[in-house]
Amino acid sequence: MKTKLVIGNWKMNLDFGAAEDLATSIQEAIENFNLKTEVAICPPFPFLELVTDLADESNFYAGAQNCSQYDNGAYTGEVSAAMLASLGVNFCIVGHSERRKLFNESNEVVARKVDKLIAEDLIPVVCCGEQLEDRKAGRHFEVVEKQVKESLFHLAKNDFEHVVIAYEPVWAIGTGETATPAQASEMHAFIRGLVEKKYGSEMAYNTYILYGGSCNAKNALELFSSPDVDGGLIGGASLKSADFVEIIEAAETSVSEN
């Protein structure tokens, strides 16, 4: 079984002091682990340098939560992929459902952001996931297929290999309601099938597909035990060092058990 990837998405939480405490506490907790799991922390922009500095001397990576679809210039308030790269950031989440819903981020915009990140050698973590009404109406596969194809399938093979996909059913985000391991596995296998059809079976195997949505210290092991779930994109539970570290441990255990 391949190693897992666990990414913490802090969203718009904490202040500088609290961010420093949390990042330091995670660093201290995992510094002596001989980790096989890859770990990344995605703080809000103002705290990124704090995390990149710590990441330099630690066994985790720094990630951003968003980037601009533009290169540079008169885009007040925006942050470019090149700026992130110059800070030493390795990952960047794009197309999170909160950005799709609250900031009208379309698949087309996500695709442009992905291009900017790849051009800067950053790893895009591209989110997809259906709303509750889509699932109730049995449209969840269709919705996710459209998001994945329109956000990613313009990429050439040698660019696609740098992409991480995160399946985050919108109804499970911040609600305490997690997809069952069977629901997560089923959708991950479906997404992997799409990747296989487009880019071949080796790429499908190698592509990391993370689960996100109320993933926590209690349910992580069961979710990560599916061979199609390559780790997690963690919101609320990444804001507590002990919980986040337990999730990383679950990722380690899920690999060693298989």
For the CB of residue 35, give the shortest distance to ligand 13P in the complex, in Å: 21
Nearer to ligand 13P, 199 or 208 (CB): 208
**Residue, CB closest to ligand 13P:** 235
For the CB of residue 94, give the shortest distance to ligand 13P in the complex, in Å: 11
Buried b / exposed e over 104-129, threshold 16 CB at 10 Å, is ebebebbbbbbbbbbebebbbbbbbb
14 touches 219 (CB < 8 A): no
Known catalytic residue: 105?
A: no
Distance of alpha carbon 142 from alpha carbon 152, whole angstroms = 15
How far CA 163 is from CA of 9, 18, 50, 75, 114, in Å, comes to 17, 30, 25, 26, 8
Q: Which of 38, 96, 105, 252 is catalytic?
A: 96
DSSP-derived secondary structure letter, 174: T
Distance of alpha carbon 68 from alpha carbon 47, whole angstroms = 18
46 touches 16 (CB < 8 A): yes
- Contact set with ligand 13P (CB under 6 A): 9, 96, 168, 173-174, 212-215, 233-237
Nearer to ligand 13P, 40 or 84 (CB): 40
Q: How far is CA 13 from the centre of its chain?
A: 17
For the CB of residue 178, give the shortest distance to ligand 13P in the complex, in Å: 8
For the CB of residue 220, give the shortest distance to ligand 13P in the complex, in Å: 11
For the CB of residue 129, give the shortest distance to ligand 13P in the complex, in Å: 9
227 touches 2 (CB < 8 A): no
Q: Which of 38, 168, 246, 249 is catalytic?
A: 168
Compute φ and ψ for 124, nearest 5 degrees.
-75, 135
Nearer to ligand 13P, 215 or 229 (CB): 215
CA atoms within 13 A on the CB side of 54: 26
Give me 114's structure tokens. Answer: 């992905």
Known catalytic residue: 168?
A: yes
Nearer to ligand 13P, 170 or 204 (CB): 170
Nearer to ligand 13P, 105 or 199 (CB): 105
Q: Which residues are catalytic?
A: 96, 168
